[in-house]
Each structure stands twice: as C-alpha cells, then as structure tokens.
Structure 1
Amino acid sequence: MLQALGHLLPISVASALSSVPIMATILILLSKHNRSSSVPYLMGWVLGIASIVTSFVLLASFLPEPALGGQQTFNALAQIVIGLALVALAIVVWRRSRGKPVGAEPKWLASVGLLGPWSSFGFGVVLNLRPKSILLTAAAALSVAGGGLTVGEAGVVIAIYTVLSASTVAIPVIGAIVSPVKVEAWLHGARAWFGRNNRTVTILILLMIGVVIVGNGLTRL
C-alpha cells in the first residue's frame, strides 16, 4: 500500500494544484452566492474525484491480460502513454498561451460567480471531466490497480488521494466559513496571483507530473 501511495502522492499534488478548480473556488467565494454555493461546489468536486477514480480503478482491474506479457506490463505501458499525453498537453497549453495577455481569465469563468447551489454542485462534478483531470485520474487508478491491494487498502488509498486532491478547494471553503473577513483578503490576492501565473504554473505542473508518471511506468516494465 505504501508503494501505491508513493506513486499517488505526486499525482494528487498535481490534481490539487490545478488552476481551474482553484480559480472557480475563488470566484464563488467572492460572489454574492458564496455561502449558499461554495459548500455544494466542494461536495460536487469531492464526489467527482472519488467516483471517477473509483470507476477507473474498477475498470483497470477488469482489463484482460494481453497475449504478450502480463497485466503489469499493460499497466506500465498505459502509464507511460498517459505521462507522454500530459507532456503533450503542456506543449499545447504553452503554444496556445503565446500572444495572449497575461492575467486574462477565461471568459466562461466570469459566469461562475452567478451559479446557485445546485448549479455549483454540478459544476464541481463536471470539472473532473476536463482532459487534464481525466489523465491524472487515469494515472492514479492505474497506480492503485497495479499495486496488488486488497479492497480495503484500495479504499483507503482512494480516500487519501481524494482528500489530497480536493484540499486546495476544501481549505478556502472551510476557511471562508470559519473566518470570512480574513479569507476574503487572501482570496483577492490569490486571484491576482493566479491571473499572473496561471499559465506558467499549469505548464510546469503538466511537464513535471508527466515525467513522473512516465518514470512510474518505466519502473513497472
């Protein structure tokens, strides 16, 4: 189980540092619907992470063994492919960002602050269907499925991954409930910082986690 956790830790950190859910959290907490929408958004985000990674783990566990090599080899090759896909995604993000003004937020983020409770819940779930999230979740599921874990151990590992991945959304939401005045000042600063550094952070994280996942796959060959 410790080996599986070791493989999952960098993936969970990359998921936690994903800029889109963090920016959405900031905008919801700064909106007039912050009290009614922030908790449903967090619940949707957590439910999405847990349900998708669990579904992927179940799917990976039922994959048939290839004719050449065992299931472990297939698992390793799949991780290498996912890692390379994340590196490719980093290159795509970099190419698309050239020439765009620094600090410009995606247009669709402007409407996040208008979401009500149920819309925020659904939005939190749907954010897990972004290409980056799907690739990270698939890599996490392969690490769990290839770790030779019991059902109980897999459940614990998935729970830890979910908590770590959701931490950067959960902490601001909980903080805003406990100390709204202090957190509001931090939210304005965080929004400005992410506006300036969002692309750089995204590209670096994608590159680093892509290389890490490729390395994880190579060690299983």
Structure 2
Amino acid sequence: MGPVIGDILPLALGVAISPIPIIAAILMLLSPKARGTSLGFLLGWVLGIVVAVVLFTLLSTVIPHGDDAEQSKPVVGTITIILGLLLLVLAVRQWRSRPAAGAEPALPKWMAAIDTMTAVRALVLGFLLSALNPKNLLMGVAAGVAIGSDAQNAGEAVVAVIVYTVIAASTVAVPVIAYLAASSRMARPLEALRTWLVHNNATIMSVLLLVIGVVLIGKGIGRF
C-alpha cells in the first residue's frame, strides 16, 4: 500500500493545486446563487476526478506487469516517462503565458457568466475542469497507471482511489464547506485569495508542472 500512496500523492497535489477551479469556486461563493452553484461545482469536480482515475486504473490492467512485484516494468516506465515529458511541455506553456509585469491577467471568458450560472451548469463545469483539463487528465492517467500497476488487490486500489480523490478535491471542497458554514466571515478572505491566485496562476502552475513532470520521469526511469 505504501508505494502506491507514495506514487499518487504528488499527482493528487498536482490536481489540488489548480488555481483556475479554486478561483471559479470562490466566484461562485461570492455570487447570488452561492449555495447551489458551489455545491454543484464541488460535486462535478469530485465526480470528474473519480471517473478519470478509475477509468485509467481499469485501463492500466491490460498493461503487461509481470508476476513479480519487484521486477522491472518497462511498459509502465515508458508510459510514466511520456506523461512526465508532457507535463514539462505544459509547464513551459504556462510559464510563457505569464502576464507582463503590471498587466492584469486574463481569465477564461466563462467566468463572466458565473453570476447567472445554475447548479446543473456548475456541476457540468466542475466535471469538465477536473476530468478533461489537459493537466488534470495527465495526472489522472499517471495515477491510474500507478494504482493499476502497484496495487496488490482490489482493496488497495479502492483505498488509493479514495486517497487520491480526497486530496485532489480538497482545495475546492475546503473553501466551499468553510463558506457555507460561516459565510459572513469568509467573504473577505476568499476575495483576497482569489486576487492572489489570479495574479500568480501561471507561475504556480508552471512550477508545479515542472516538479511533478521531473518526479514522473524519475519514477519512470526507476521502472526499468
């Protein structure tokens, strides 16, 4: 169990530290329909994470692993290295997309419609951001491959999926739960957090993707 959890922890953190969905959740919490949209978004975010990691865990079972848990796994290693390289490419793209000094960062156009968004649309948005966003999708693939190749039985795989989901969803879940529990006291801190994330989104993501990409490449090499 230990090696599996060790493999998926950085990947789960990679999904958790995603400024755009956190910003979206905060905007929903500060909107007129805070309760419905934020809960819908959180549900969609969790569902997307679960679907992605479970799907790729199941698909990874067709990869040749060998009978000995200690023997090399070149196919898994190659896939892991490729995923790491793709994350490095995303890191470079994020770094190059940083706004110029003093410029106001551009946000996705769909954020302008959050005030009028329904709970169902928020759920769909959360699902799409967690399951189909390129960065999160790569994390889900890597986590699924790690779980499918290292989990010794179905019980270990289920626990690993739960751990991955809880950590990956935490940064969206915490502000939503905190705001709904004490909305009057959370408005100002959430606005300050939103402003900071907007101005540091590209830098945060580029550093995060760089670190996780290098980690995956190292783990992939270790599979040979």
Which of 123, 126, 134 is the aligned partner of 1:124? Answer: 126
- Decide whether the 8 Å contact of 1:80 with 1:213 is kept in 2: yes
Give 5+ residue unaligned stretches, structure 2.
none
With 4-13 and 92-101 compared, the bigger mean Cα shift is at 92-101
With 17-26 and 80-89 compared, the bigger mean Cα shift is at 17-26
Amino acid of the residue matched to residue 193 of structure 2? A
C-alpha distance in 2 between matches for 1:8 and 1:203? 19
What is residue 49 of structure 1 aligned with on the other side? 49
Shift of 1:112: 2.7
Secondary structure of the corresponding residue to residue 4 of structure 1? helix
Per-residue CA distance 1:62-121 (angstroms, 9 max, x = gap):
23579xxx9821111100000010001111222233658343323222223321011111
> Among the aligned pairs, what percent are the same residue?
36
Matched, 1:167 2:131: no
Matched, 1:187 2:190: yes
Matched, 1:73 2:74: yes
Amino acid of the residue matched to residue 171 of structure 1? V
What is residue 159 of structure 2 aligned with on the other side? 156
What is residue 135 of structure 1 aligned with on the other side? 138
Amino acid of the residue matched to residue 211 of structure 1? V
TM-align CA RMSD = 1.8
Per-residue CA distance 1:171-201 (angstroms, 9 max, x = gap):
0110011111121111110111011111110
C-alpha distance in 1 between matches for 2:65 and 2:33? 50
Give 5+ residue unaligned stretches, structure 1.
none
- Decide whether the 8 Å contact of 2:77 with 2:220 is kept in 1: yes
Shift of 1:204: 0.5
C-alpha distance in 2 between matches for 1:61 and 1:3? 17
What is residue 204 of structure 2 aligned with on the other side? 201
Matched, 1:63 2:54: no
C-alpha distance in 1 between matches for 2:114 and 2:19? 14
- Decide whether the 8 Å contact of 2:37 with 2:119 is kept in 1: yes
Secondary structure of the corresponding residue to residue 97 of structure 1? coil
Secondary structure of the corresponding residue to residue 97 of structure 2? helix
Per-residue CA distance 1:102-145 (angstroms, 9 max, x = gap):
43323222223321011111111111201111111101111101
Amino acid of the residue matched to residue 118 of structure 2? G
Amino acid of the residue matched to residue 47 of structure 1? L
Secondary structure of the corresponding residue to residue 143 of structure 1? helix
